[in-house]
Amino acid sequence: MKIHNFGAGPCILPQEVFQKAAAAVLDLNQSGLSILEISHRSVAFDEIIDNAQNLAKELLDIPKGYKVLFLQGGASLQFSMVPMNFLPQDGKAAYLDTGVWSSKAIKEASLFGEVLTVASSKDKNYSYIPKDFNLPQEASYFHITTNNTIYGSEIFEDYDVAIPLIADMSSDIFSRKIDVSKYDLIYAGAQKNVGPAGVTIVIVKEAFLEKKARLVPTMLDYQVHAKNDSLFNTPPVFPIYVSMLNLEWLKSQGGVEKIEYQNLQKAELLYQEIERNSLFKGNVETASRSRMNVTFSAIDEDIEKRFLSVCKEKGIHGIKGHRLSGGFRASLYNALPLSSVEYLVETMKDFESSKS
């Protein structure tokens, strides 16, 4: 039975990426060595990480003056690294609270300085993106989480602000066009839309690196990693390699502009069915609905249990909502084909017909 993977992460990847990665585990480019055993100081890995960096720059149209880093610790470590590097002890940082991950980032930042939550959607269970807020101009930076994997909201605007802008793009990076020049630092755990768990992508403006606020431990210093081209210590070789393969695949598909069009098609198809189907309802306000993580609920608990059972029988994987939000969550990452969304929609229609 074909499995349709709607899991929120680690993400679905193209089959050809799996095949190339599996072959490299046995023999990397006919070298006689596995990707798992090559030196991170080797010419072979230099080519891999250089290619991954160049692909990221090309696909996101990253302007000159930015570094692309491959770090470890996931986005969760970035919650601490950002304020540790850029929030002075007597300074302030502005944060937009739009979900669990932004809340965690706020909690970590408060250990290093004063955090100003400029707006929050917690009052309505994170079902919308706040629009009206004022930024304190004395803040060292403004932090946002562009896509909220748990509750299913997304920021599509590249904010034009007068203070440095920092974004956690873990679950929507490379899914749509962005204006990187508006951001001073972007970070993303690769396991949501790029590659396997174990590597974190950081895109940082070189001029912003000079604003380091304090002395920090070496491994948590962005300047150290930038000066060493992500090779200060042994990097996560295999996750970087798989991410490179996935970026090659994305380029072969026509790049970010083409994949954004496909992602929009997938999201519109599913949201239309949620609105039409009498057994389901959406969880997020229309203007804030995520293209990557579509969250919805059944009209009652019995319907929810029955539909989850049907999905299991039909090979629809990862559709159960996060434990904090309940209901359902369909993650429509880049590699998920439109045919899988069509299959889910047909399953929803058949389920409704069986109840009538």
State both tokens at 122. Answer: 């917690």
* Given 97, 168, 172, 184, the catalytic residue: 168
Provide the pairing of β-strand 280-282 with 293-298. Answer: antiparallel
Report the alpha-carbon distance of residue 316 to residue 347 in Å, rounded. Answer: 9
Report the alpha-carbon distance of residue 175 to residue 71 in Å, rounded. Answer: 21
Report the alpha-carbon distance of residue 228 to residue 201 in Å, rounded. Answer: 15
Among 163, 98, 102, residue whose Cα is nearest residue 136: 163
Among 55, 14, 52, 57, residue whose Cα is nearest residue 262: 14
| DSSP-H helix ranges across 214-314 | 222-227, 237-252, 255-276, 301-314
CA end-to-end span of the chain, whole Å? 28
Concerning whether 67 is annotated as a catalytic residue, the answer is no
State both tokens at 80. Answer: 């601490």
Among 124, 69, 65, 130, residue whose Cα is nearest residue 97: 130
Report the alpha-carbon distance of residue 44 to residue 54 in Å, rounded. Answer: 16
State both tokens at 110. Answer: 């408060």
Concerning whether 168 is annotated as a catalytic residue, the answer is yes
Report the alpha-carbon distance of residue 286 to residue 290 in Å, rounded. Answer: 9
Concerning whether 177 is annotated as a catalytic residue, the answer is no
**Dihedral angle sign, alpha carbons of residues 125, 131, 137, 140:** positive
Report the alpha-carbon distance of residue 188 to residue 167 in Å, rounded. Answer: 9
Report the alpha-carbon distance of residue 95 to residue 135 in Å, rounded. Answer: 9
Report the alpha-carbon distance of residue 49 to residue 45 in Å, rounded. Answer: 6
* Given 67, 192, 205, 266, the catalytic residue: 192
State both tokens at 42. Answer: 């080797």
Report the alpha-carbon distance of residue 101 to residue 34 in Å, rounded. Answer: 36
- Backbone angle region of 29, left / alpha / beta, with phi > 0 → left and psi within -120 to 50 → alpha: left
Would you please indicate which residues are annotated as catalytic (active-site) residues?
101, 168, 192
